[in-house]
Amino acid sequence: MQICSICRLKIKDGVMIGTGEGSGNSFAHKECYDEIENTKDKTLEDMVFINLSCTEELTKEFIKIALEDIQTFDKKQHDYGSDNIGDFGEFGVLVRANDKMQRLKNLLNVEETTDILRGSGENPLNEPIKDSWLDLSVYGIIARMCRNGIWPK
């Protein structure tokens, strides 16, 4: 009996698929093979959308942004490590998030007497406003990881 090279389950009837020149062949369930063939032209965003059974078109943009957040998180983890959060935990994330909120409040020039946001017309001197929103997004997930006991201490 053969093992499907895609799902790793036993197969009775399958299709032979080439694994590259000189490396031999392997077998796969026809359904597994067809599923991979049908996804060759799809983006990662499309694949996540399909695998999570999403239905709303706007969710594709949400997924795209979330994947950018994941990449940023991974790069910053490489630079910072986990101790900068682990030393202070969820409260430390709250402080960092508050710093970003204060920065955004200043840059967006929120009038405290009203609830109307108006732009200041000035460009930030350091990082773009977009980066502060990205950081807040990532901090939200980090805080949930701390809350769930996943973040290393």
Please compute, for residue 89, the number of CA atoms within 13 A of its CA located in the half-sphere on the CB side. Answer: 7
> Interior CA angle at 148 toward 143 and 152, to 5°?
75
The pTM (predicted TM-score) of the whole model is 0.67
> In which domain, by residue range, is 93 found?
82-147
**Residue 139 three-state SS:** helix
73: in domain: no
Domain count, the chain: 2
24: in domain: yes
126: in domain: yes
54: in domain: no
Instruction: Tell me, yes or no, whether 35 and 86 share the same domain.
Output: no
Instruction: Tell me, yes or no, whether 37 and 86 share the same domain.
Output: no
143: in domain: yes
Query: What is the tens place of the pLDDT at every residue in 4-58?
Result: 777 777 766 655 555 444 445 676 777 777 777 777 778 889 888 888 888 999 9
Query: What is the tens place of the pLDDT at every residue in 132-146?
Result: 999 999 999 999 999
Instruction: Tell me, yes or no, whether 36 and 88 share the same domain.
Output: no
Indicate whether 114 pLDDT > 80.
no
63: in domain: no
